[in-house]
Every structure is written in C-alpha cells, then in structure tokens.
Homo-oligomer: A and B are copies of this chain.
Amino acid sequence: MFSFQQLQDKFADSFGQVHFPSLPVSLYEPARYMLSIKGKRIRPVLCLMGNDLFDNIGEDSFRVAAAIELFHNFTLIHDDILDKAPLRRGVPTVHTRFNLPSALLAGDSMLIHAYELINRIDKIYLSRILSIFNKTAIKVCEGQQLDMDFEQMEADNIPMSGYLEMIELKTSVLLAASLKMGAIMGGASERNANHLYEFGKYIGMAFQVQDDLLDAFGDPRKFGKQHGGDILTGKKTFLLLKALELCNPGQKHALLSLMKTDLPDRLEKVMQIYASCEIDKWASREKERFADIALANLDQVAVLSARKHYLLELASILLDRQA
C-alpha cells in the first residue's frame, strides 16, 4: 500500500503520459497550460487510494484518476470564466492568458477527453463507473450554478441547508466519487464503496468549514493566504451565514452593511461580531462533527484496520493543517 505522497508521485508519472493532440495548437495549448498549473491533485490520488484500500492498484484506476483530473481542470477553467478570475495559484487564468473563446473550448475538449479515458477501462465496470462519473459531473455543475445564485442573494436570505447543499455539490461529491470509483475498481462491494463515498463527502465538508475558519481566525503565516480574504471580498461563508443566525438584530444589520462596503475597518468590525457570537467555537465544533461522521463511515468499511492507515493519515493532514 502507498501513502498519499507516494501516490501523488505515481499519478504524476502516469498523468505525464496523457497527451493531447498537437493540432489545433490554439485548442490544446490552453489545455496544456491549465494542466501545467499543477494543484495537489487530491481527487485523482483519492481514486488511487480508494483502489489501494481493497486491492493492488490497476491500470484502469490510473485512467479514471486521469479522467477525474481532466474533469476537475475543465470545471476550474469554466469557473474562472464565470467568476472573471484573473489569477489561479498566482498565474493568469486560461481566459486571461489566452482568451474567453479558447478557454471555453479548451474546457469542453478536456471534458470529452476525460470521457474517452473512461471508455478505455475494462467493460466489466465501464457502465458503473460512467454512471458515478455522470451523476457527479451533473452535481458539480448544479453546485456551481447554486453558488452563482447565492452570489446574487442577500446573505440573510440564504438558508444554511441550501448553503450546505451547495458546498456538498460543488466541492464534496467529487472527492467522495473519486474514492468510490477507485474502490469499485479495487473490487469493493457496493456497501463498502458507499461508506467510502460518505467518508470522502464529510471530509470535504469538514475541510470547507476549516478553510472558512482559517481564513478569518488562522495564522496567515501558516495558512499562506491573506488574513480575512473572504471578509474583504464579501464572500458568503459558513461563518457569515451562521453569524447572521446567532447574532443580535443590531449586529445582523451591521454585518449585512459591512459586506457591501469597503471601509478600511471592515475586517476589524466583522471580526468583532464574529468574536462576540463565538463563531470560531461553532465552526470548530462543526468541523469536528463532519470529521466524526467521516471517520464513522470509514470505520464501517469492512477491510483490515491496518489498510485504513493512509486514509486516516490523509484525513489528519487535511484537517489539522494549522496544528
């Protein structure tokens, strides 16, 4: 069995062999550029780990992992267009470096190439994998649309249940499905694969709460992002929505006004309200609650406990990064 880091390396070797056609240059150059902005590749590695939990990793899991990485990059290219984002990981986004039409088409072609990678797996589980992949891809699109809908709404009109659903669709289901697809190719039963799916889903939810928490309360030197970036850009987060529920009417009014201004003391004032309703304690408990559900599901996966070591290790790395 392999650790997350070892599988990152194995995936990088394998994914380096995936080549787009050379022509038209104007279509595939933006696609290659996007892939050169390498992320942590958590999703494809989760697919490999899902397989590794049950059996030796087969070639098909590398194909599906590559398809997942292409799909994820397709969503990033299109999301950056939708968000008019100029930068990703510190470099120009695809539509900024090239242009909107090329970015849009490069995204489309990456999605289709993902399906062609899936089509190369053993016919025994082609239909089952395709079904999970399609359901997940649809959910990610729906989550992105919900996110855009929420951007247009007043924060106090967004129900926490709707926000949770959006995060689940936009972020968590792809992590969950990556694990499940790997598990199926590793020969997992439907029951085991579903528990692993839930594990991935709730790790994703816990991670998102933590991300929101660290943005406001984390140490910027360790976190590596601007302190209070979410507050300064008026982003709707778990913290904001819960604070609007918890705080008094005067604070609620102040919070809603502060989200729309760019006064220099905006960050400070929002943080005062967050502190007074102890939103950090709530978020820490919420993160632990999600993490507990995740771990309870992993516990239910019927394999030797020792095989779960690397998944537990990954969960602790992902969810304790400030520790």
Contacts and interface: CB of A to CB of B under 8 A. Distances in A.
A237 interface: no
Q: Is the interface of A mostly helix, strand, loop or mixed?
A: helix
A181 B131 CA distance: 20
Given A111-B108, A112-B141, A138-B109, A24 B119 contact: no
A108 B24 contact: no
A145 B112 contact: no
A300 interface: no
Nearest to A123: B127
A149 B24 contact: yes
A118 to B, nearest CB: 8
Contacts of A131: 116, 119
B138 A127 contact: no
A39 to B, nearest CB: 20
B134 A127 contact: no
A34 to B, nearest CB: 15
A312 to B, nearest CB: 33
A147 to B, nearest CB: 10
A81 B82 CA distance: 13
A161 to B, nearest CB: 13
Contacts of A81: 101, 104
A78 interface: yes
Interface in A97-146: 101-102, 104-105, 108-109, 111-113, 115-116, 119, 123, 126-127, 130-131, 134-135, 137-138, 141-142, 144-146
B24 A109 contact: no
B78 A148 contact: no
Nearest to A128: B119
B101 A24 contact: no
A27 interface: yes
A112 B130 contact: no
Nearest to A99: B148
A6 interface: no
15 contacts: A24-B145, A27-B141, A78-B105, A81-B101, A82-B101, A82-B104, A82-B105, A105-B141, A109-B138, A111-B112, A112-B134, A113-B138, A115-B115, A116-B131, A116-B138
Closest 8 CB pairs of A and B: A27-B145, A116-B134, A82-B101, A109-B141, A112-B137, A119-B130, A24-B145, A112-B138
Interface of A: 21, 23-24, 26-27, 78, 81-82, 101-102, 104-105, 108-109, 111-113, 115-116, 119, 123, 126-127, 130-131, 134-135, 137-138, 141-142, 144-146, 148-149
